Amino acid sequence: MERRGRHLRGPLALGTVAAVASGLLLAGCGSSSAGSDPNRRQTITFWDNNGGPDRTPLWKGLIANFEAANPKITVKYVGIPAASVQQKYDTAVTGGGTPDVAGATTSYLGGLIAQKALVPLDDRVSQAGMTGKLVTSFADSVRKVSADGKLYEVPTSGNLDVLWYRTDLFQKAGLKPPASWDDFFTDVPRLTEAAKNQYGFTIRGGSGAIFQLLTEMYSYSGITSFFDSSGKSTINDPRNVELISKIAALYKKDTPTADVNNDFVKMVAQFDGGSIAIMHHNLGSASNNVKALGAAKVAAVPLPVAANGVHTVVPNPVDGLVIFSASKHKDAAWRFIQFVTQKSANSTWNQKVGQIPANTEVSGESWLQSQQPVRDALKVIQDSGTVSVQAPFYLPEFSAITKTEMGPLFQKVLLGTLSAQRFADTFAAKMTQAQAKYVKRVGG
Amino acid sequence: MTQPRIKRPRLKRSTLTQARNRPEVLIPLALYLLFTLVPFYWMLVFAFRPTGSTTILPTRPTLEHFRTVWTGLGFGVFFRNSLLVGLATLLVVSVFALSGGYALARYAFAGRKIFMLALLCTQFIPGAMMLIPLFEVFRHLRLINNLWALVLAETTFQLPLALILMSGFIRNIPIDLEEAAWVDGCSRLRGFLAVVLPLLRPALVAVGSFAFIGSWNNFLFALMFMSEQSKFTIPVGLSYTLGEFGVDFGALAAGGVVAAVPVVLVFAVVQRYLVTGLSAGAVKG
């Protein structure tokens, strides 16, 4: 018995040592609290809403510049993975433990405002003389998210849906980039050679499909609002339904069969793999596209103008910075926001990430001329003839309707088991109901 | 009269050995192995292939993606954190599973069956549901941003299954062995340490492996309970490569290799104990 007992002495001893060592190390990693005396050195915590290998080094560079210019303020950077950022923010708001300043987009800003987690920044923006320096449509997008119409986020970057296309394949087919939706629907079959595994277009049928479909629908129809004056959704307008039918008709004929499950990752991977001639995505995939295909083989054009001549654009969520209500260093947090949204920092940032700068002073920068997709997108945004059709991100149900409820139904449309009309009617009914509830709640 | 010769029966090869050499067994197994290994192969190709390359063989292997994740994303720190949390969880779960499992196996007390049922029921509670309550608890204990929060949360979720497995295994060891030790003058604890514990090695390996690997792979708690870059673990680091607008497949694959190596090593070392441990403990009520 004694002999058998010895068998485990070695492992047990090792285990004990490991436990003690782990305990000491874990305890050593405990948190420390910082003081909040304004006369002393202040430390603010900044959560980056899209941490990763591309953006983290850029933020760290900007933070270093800010700390050099503001020696009494230290910024603690925390990168949050983009896929889980909303859950992280909601948990921090509910449980306590929000940062001082953070990145956020208008897609989940409404939820944070509703929880009273953020402070309005209108007065600070106005006092800093920044009001006229923010791209109007971006600031409008932010204001429309909140029921009180206040600015809870200072925009840093905007994004726009574009048609990415293969210049070499267009040249080979003797085609010009699509200037109208008619061009688009004529070009796609001509660019398809299914036998060679080459397709004219790729549809986003999986995660994120609905928002992308909405941008196509309103660009095609030229309808300028998601709701009519009586609060009824315009989603099932005959022109929108026509676009859905036309897109669904491309499926499997001029697109890969796997498109029904495409999220943006698979869609971009297919395009970058070289088997697709046109892809509808936003400016965000620029670096991936150029890296994979080479700058000479890929370009982008904004979504075409509607047949009625109205250039409508459904803006993508606007990226920016917010200050949390629980922050004890709001002034320091504001100084940080001011620093990174000023011309030089905003220019550097957007040049590196390939997004549309939110500071109007950046529009004259030379780098914009060499980045064709961003330059054209900015032109569309700033064009007085462009009508911005704001997606109702302010509706608490918007995310669930577009992501959970309508996604599977759109897949049914692609597979031919649901008509475009029934899909649009169901979608419109849900949006109308959500809008009515919202209007009733805010007393509009 | 000659003694009748008794023919010695030929030793038959076991059914298992025969089965091993039959193509109808080998071919499906080989196909299954291929099916299992293809994703790993792709992970290695992406990890070692230069950015922009589309070859299916990493003919010009590069370590650029490993540099990106190790130094650029800080996987060195994440790796250390994951290792510390994994080892601490392993030890805490093993100690509590041993003591609790022994009590459940050897003592008859009122409500034991209900307690076992309750342990089983805890397996149906998703981690996300407990997020806010645990966050509140850890905040009051000042454990937010402390790796001990992860150890405690992991232990909370892994201990019930560990207790069930361990009690099943202990019940399988005849009490007579312990009684013999008591007759020889051992105390209950001494008897347990000298007689039962050495026989529990497969069970300890099974329970410990599950605790370590479960902790190693957990993303949700690490992201939610930690709010400092230096406290995140490997799964959080991996999710950095999945951006809002693009995915760095090379970095994702390299990070995947870094994350998979300890798990593969753990399984390589313990796999011979693991099957015994699981089969012995799992079927006992």
User: What is the domain partition of chain B in residue ranges?
Assistant: 20-62, 75-282
Residue of B nearest to A33 (CA): B142
Residues 6+ away with beta carbon under 8 Å from A65: A339, A345
Q: Residue A246 sits in which domain range?
A: 161-314+395-442
- Residues B210 and B161: beta-carbon distance below 8 Å: yes
Mean pLDDT of chain B: 86
Residue of A nearest to B65 (CA): A53
Identify whether residues A124 and A185 lie together within a single domain: no
Mutate to test the interface with A, among B244, B269, B270 (most CBs of A within 10 A): B244
pLDDT at B275 over 80: no
In a domain, A19, yes or no: no
CA A368, CA A251: separation in Å to the nearest integer?
Answer: 36
In a domain, A279, yes or no: yes
Q: Is A115 on the interface with B (CB under 8 A)?
A: no
In a domain, A108, yes or no: yes
What's the half-sphere exposure (Cβ side, CA atoms, 13 Å) at A266?
16
Long-range contacts of B235-238 (CB under 8 A, 24+ apart): B235/B82, B235/B259, B236/A81, B236/B78, B237/B69, B237/B73, B237/B74, B237/B75, B237/B78
* Residues 164-203 of chain A whose Cβ lies under 8 A from any Cβ of chain B: none
| ipTM for the assembly | 0.78
Q: Which helix (H) or strand (E) holds B118?
A: helix B112-121
Burial class (CB in 10 A: 0-12, 13-18, 19+), A221: buried
Give the pLDDT band of residue A5 (cuts 50, 70, 90).
Answer: very low
DSSP B80: H
| Partner residue facing B73 (CB), from A47, A53, A264 | A53
CA B55, CA B62: separation in Å to the nearest integer?
Answer: 13
The full 3-state SS of chain A, as one line of letters, equals: CHHHHHCCHHHHHHHHHHHHHHHHHHHHCCCCCCCCCCCCCEEEEEEECCCCCCCHHHHHHHHHHHHHHCCCEEEEEEECCHHHHHHHHHHHHHHCCCCCEEEEEHHHHHHHHHCCCECCCHHHHHHCCCHHHECHHHHHHHHHHCCCCCCCCEEEEECCEEEEEEHHHHHHHCCCCCCEHHHHHHHHHHCCEHHHCEEEEECCCCCCHHHHHHHHHHHHHCCCCCECCCCCECCCCHHHHHHHHHHHHHCCCCCCHHHHHCCHHHHHHHHHCCCEEEEEEEHHHHHHHHHHHCHHHEEEEECCECCCCCEEECCCCCEEEEEECCCCCHHHHHHHHHHHHCHHHHHHHHHHHCCEECEHHHHHCCHHHHCHHHHHHHHHHHCCCEEECCCCCCCCCHHHHHHHHHHHHHHHHHHCCCCHHHHHHHHHHHHHHHHHHHHHHHCC
Residues of chain A neighbouring B87 (CB-CB closer than 8 A): 18-19, 22
- Residues B200 and B169: beta-carbon distance below 8 Å: yes
**From the CA of B2, how many Å to the nearest CA of chain A?**
53
* Mean pLDDT on B48-75: 85
Q: For position B265, what pLDDT does the model report?
A: 85
- Residues B186 and B194: beta-carbon distance below 8 Å: yes
- Residues B250 and B46: beta-carbon distance below 8 Å: yes
CA B274, CA B209: separation in Å to the nearest integer?
Answer: 8
* CB atoms inside a 10 Å sphere around CB B36: 9
Mean pLDDT of chain A: 88
The domain total for chain A is: 2
CA B254, CA B72: separation in Å to the nearest integer?
Answer: 12
Identify whether residues A246 and A344 lie together within a single domain: no
Identify whether residues A176 and A239 lie together within a single domain: yes
Identify whether residues A415 and A307 lie together within a single domain: yes
CA B219, CA B131: separation in Å to the nearest integer?
Answer: 12
Q: Which of A335, A361, A383 is the last residue of a domain?
A: A383
Identify whether residues A110 and A237 lie together within a single domain: no
Backbone angles phi and psi of A313, in degrees to 5: -135, 130
In a domain, A367, yes or no: yes
Identify whether residues A123 and A227 lie together within a single domain: no
In a domain, A430, yes or no: yes
In a domain, A84, yes or no: yes
Identify whether residues A321 and A184 lie together within a single domain: no
Identify whether residues A175 and A309 lie together within a single domain: yes
Superfamily of domain B75-282: MetI-like (1.10.3720.10)
CA A229, CA A180: separation in Å to the nearest integer?
Answer: 29
- Residues A1 and B195: beta-carbon distance below 8 Å: yes
Asked if B135 and A95 come within 8 Å (Cβ–Cβ), the reply is yes
Identify whether residues A179 and A230 lie together within a single domain: yes
Identify whether residues A64 and A196 lie together within a single domain: no
Q: Is A30 on the interface with B (CB under 8 A)?
A: yes
**From the CA of B122, how many Å to the nearest CA of chain A?**
22
In a domain, A21, yes or no: no
pLDDT at B276 over 70: no
Identify whether residues A147 and A171 lie together within a single domain: no
Asked if B144 and A54 come within 8 Å (Cβ–Cβ), the reply is no
Per-residue pLDDT of B129-144, as tens digits, reads 888 889 989 999 999 9
- Flag the least confident range among A38-52, A231-245, B180-194, B207-221: A38-52
Residues of chain A above pLDDT 90, percent? 66
Q: For position A217, what pLDDT does the model report?
A: 97
In a domain, A283, yes or no: yes
Identify whether residues A330 and A405 lie together within a single domain: no
Per-residue pLDDT of A260-315, as tens digits, reads 999 988 899 899 888 999 999 999 888 788 888 888 999 999 999 999 888 999 98
pLDDT at B155 over 80: yes
Per-residue pLDDT of A30-51, as tens digits, reads 333 344 455 678 999 999 999 9
Residues of chain A neighbouring B251 (CB-CB closer than 8 A): 53
> Maximum Cα–Cα distance for chain B, whole Å?
96
